[in-house]
Amino acid sequence: MNLNKLYKVLEGQPKYRIQQAKDAIFKKLASNWSEASNISKDFKEKLNKECPLEIDGQIFASRDAKTTKALITLADGLQIETVMLSHKDGRHTVCVSTQVGCSLACTFCATGKMGLKRNLEVEEMLQQVLFFSRILKEEDKRVSNVVVMGMGEPFLNYDNTIKAIKYLNEDLGIGARHISISTSGVLNGIDKLANEKMQVNLAISLHAPNDRLRNELMPINKRFPMKDLFKAVDKYIIKTGRRVMFEYLMIKGINDSPEQAKELAELMKKPLYMVNLIAYNPTDVYKASDKNAIEDFRKVLEQEGVGVTQRYSFGQDIDAACGQLANKKNCK
Ligand code: SAH
Ligand code: SF4
């Protein structure tokens, strides 16, 4: 799928043609233009030739059936991963990548190890959701939530990410409140998002309770230290009135002590600040915190009055965290 080519083919056509094409992509969830209604046969053929709808994806299902991972091969042969999490309550969340690789080199992250290959185009982000939408359609189900938490830093591909989110919201019908963007703390992205008038959720990858440790784990912290990060978040909250989720990976022996929990609590004691503790998907560098350590950490935060949620790691058997599968492939 190539949206630029599509709009080129549709140039000069009446407006309703564009809507018909969009309906075929986002409502019918067609994987071939022949499935589109109200479009002449000749025109369908032209569309199939100029901007085919097929998506080259390979599925990996997790043993627990809650996680399905797809490896999507792009037109230039690079591969990206996308994960769908199926929840007990019937929701289906797709985790979208925004870049092939990432330039920010966080030490705990498999994507960071790849370096940046390139930004993704709008349609390459959409494909990741459409791929699962098409599969779910067969069972009369739909993608209900999107988290922009796959490979890459969304705010270093800001314009394409926002455009993709607009399509997901306006054309695919995913509620803005059901869409979350996670950033490692690219400050001008936070500022820009505050001005978008979109009801999407903002998450910040924090992972450390002080600059010393965060500098070590996330080199971006040297450019945008925590004081400035919180300033940007506070401005965002004043502007939008929306909650902000701080993600905190639980990495064994690195950031999971009760003292560090106390230090984190001091930073998080603000209205509309929330902490999400995330089970670490082990890499060859770090291990996941023990269950007890996570429990104790959580208790400290709660005792200090901080809002905490906990996310268990999905699909460890298929490497369903940030960049792990695609990284293995792209590095071979
Ligand atoms: N670049 C953005 C968005 C992509 S990363 C960001 O950093 O926020 C999405 C989330 O996956 C981040 O919170 C990241 O810290 C987390 N992550 C990275 N490696 C992980 C691992 N091995 N296990 C679990 N989560 C991981
Ligand atoms: Fe990039 Fe996010 Fe991974 Fe850091 S955690 S390397 S910012 S994808």
What does the pLDDT look like over 28-39, one tens digit per residue? 999 999 999 888
Write down the CATH number for the domain with range 56-328. 3.20.20.70
The model's pLDDT over 75-84, given as tens digits with 9 standing for 90+, comes to 999 999 889 9
Q: What is the DSSP track for 43-84?
A: HHHHHHHHS-----EEEEE-TTSSEEEEEEE-TTS-EEEEEE
Q: What is the pTM of this model?
A: 0.93
Q: Evaluate if residue 215 carries a pLDDT over 90.
A: yes
Tell me the C-alpha distance between 46 and 306, whole Å: 57
Q: Tell me how far the alpha carbon of residue 208 lies from the centroid of ligand 2, in angstroms.
A: 14
N- to C-terminal Cα distance for the chain?
Answer: 27
Does residue 326 have a pLDDT over 90? Answer: no
Q: Pairing between strand 273-279 and 145-148?
A: unpaired
Question: Which residue, among 88, 91, 183, 84, has the nearest Cα to 130 in the 3D structure?
Answer: 84
**Statement: residue 43 has pLDDT above 90:** no
CB of 109 closer than 6 angstroms to any ligand 2 atom = yes
Torsions phi, psi for 288 (to 5 deg): -80, 145
Of 113, 149, 244, 277, best ligand 1 pocket probe by most atoms within 8 Å of the beta carbon: 149
Distance CA 314, CA 320 (A): 7
Question: Binning pLDDT at 50, 70 and 90, where does residue 7 land?
Answer: confident
> What is the spatial distance between Cα 12 and Cα 26, in angstroms, rounded to a whole number?
22
Ligand 1, atom 10: nearest CA belongs to which residue?
A: 149
Q: Is the CB of 153 under 6 A from ligand 2?
A: yes
112 Cβ below 6 A of ligand 2: yes
Residue 60 has pLDDT above 70, yes or no: yes
Which residues, at least 6 apart from 118, have a Cβ–Cβ distance to it below 8 Å? Answer: 78, 99, 100, 101
Q: Report the percentage of the chain scoring pLDDT > 90.
A: 76
Which amino acid is present at 293? Answer: A
User: What's the rounded Cα separation, in Å, for the pair 31 and 53?
Assistant: 5
The structural domains of the chain, with segments of one domain joined by +, span: 1-54, 56-328
